[in-house]
Amino acid sequence: MIENIVLNDREVIICHPEKPNGKWALKTEYFNAFPEVQNTLLDMGYYIAHIKNKTRWHHPSDTEARFNLAQYMSERFGVSKKCVIIGMSCGGLQGIYFASKYPQFVSCMYLDAPVVNLLSCPAGLGKGKESVFDEFQAHTGMDLITLLGYRNHPLDHLPKLAESNIPIILVSGDSDKIVPYDENGKYINDIYTENNCIIKTIIKKGGDHHPHSLTDNSPIIDFILKYDK
């Protein structure tokens, strides 16, 4: 069953499993895109939830909306307050902001081609072949000069993630032309590796930004089941 509600003026989608197992996953952006992992978890008893963002490029209120959703899910359905984050592209960005501020609400994270460095994407100042900076500027009010001095990129929050040691499975293509791995996901891999944190990184040879996930998603599901405690 798919339920649509409004929570503090935010649209929320909740997928109900047939046999709930007391757990839930939070898809942070692009709810209907590449749903294979979330559908598998749903079949296994997970609630799957999504709350609408003010912008896919993150507004502080988006993080607080997820905090409210976590409280709601626990109180209404009796599930764990800790969720599995499913964050693809800008959804990865959203997940990093939330998990770094509220690690007590996150058991583990599946990040797929996550946006980590805003100078890379949306600004397209590195290897990326596509810039969506006009959209970013319209949604955030930041011009390029402001962004050059910005100190609130997702990458600036990675030390907090490492400190909490939230387990991460990271999937990226080595030929991503929108969110290049070397300028984004690699920051996660490196800081987690340097701090002996729990991370599994899967690099898809020849993989571009799309499609997300894997041909066989078993490694992702196995990681989630191992660390969602």
pLDDT 10s digits, 14-67? 999 999 999 999 999 999 999 999 999 999 999 999 999 999 999 999 999 999
Q: Which domains does the chain have, with CATH numbers?
A: 2-227 (3.40.50.1820)
Q: Which residues pair with 112 in a beta bridge?
A: 88, 171
**Helix (H) / strand (E) containing 36:** helix 36-43
Helices (H), the chain: 36-43, 60-77, 90-101, 133-140, 144-148, 158-164, 185-194, 218-227
**Band (90; pLDDT cuts 50, 70, 90):** very high
**Helix (H) / strand (E) containing 68:** helix 60-77
Q: What is the mean pLDDT of residues 120-144?
A: 90
Is the C-alpha dihedral spanning 90, 204, 34, 65 positive or negative?
Answer: negative
Query: With pLDDT > 70 as the criterion, what percentage of the chain qualifies?
Result: 100
> Phi first, then psi: what are they for 78, rounded to 5°?
70, 20
Q: Are 88 and 29 in contact (CB under 8 A)?
A: yes
**Band (131; pLDDT cuts 50, 70, 90):** confident
Q: Among 92, 104, 101, 99, which Cα is nearest to 186's?
A: 92
Query: With pLDDT > 90 as the criterion, what percentage of the chain qualifies?
Result: 97
**Band (127; pLDDT cuts 50, 70, 90):** confident
Q: What is the mean pLDDT of residues 143-165?
A: 96
Q: What is the pTM of this model?
A: 0.96
Residue 129 has pLDDT above 80, yes or no: no
pLDDT (0 to 100) of residue 229 = 86
Would you give the DSSP letter of residue 214? -
Q: Among 192, 184, 188, 187, which Cα is nearest to 209's?
A: 184
Distance CA 110, CA 27 (A): 10
Give the chain's mean pLDDT.
96
Q: Among 47, 40, 30, 51, which Cα is nearest to 81's?
A: 47
pLDDT (0 to 100) of residue 101 = 98
Q: Among 164, 203, 148, which Cα is nearest to 180's?
A: 203
Q: What is the mean pLDDT of residues 186-205?
A: 98
pLDDT (0 to 100) of residue 169 = 98
**Helix (H) / strand (E) containing 15:** strand 10-15
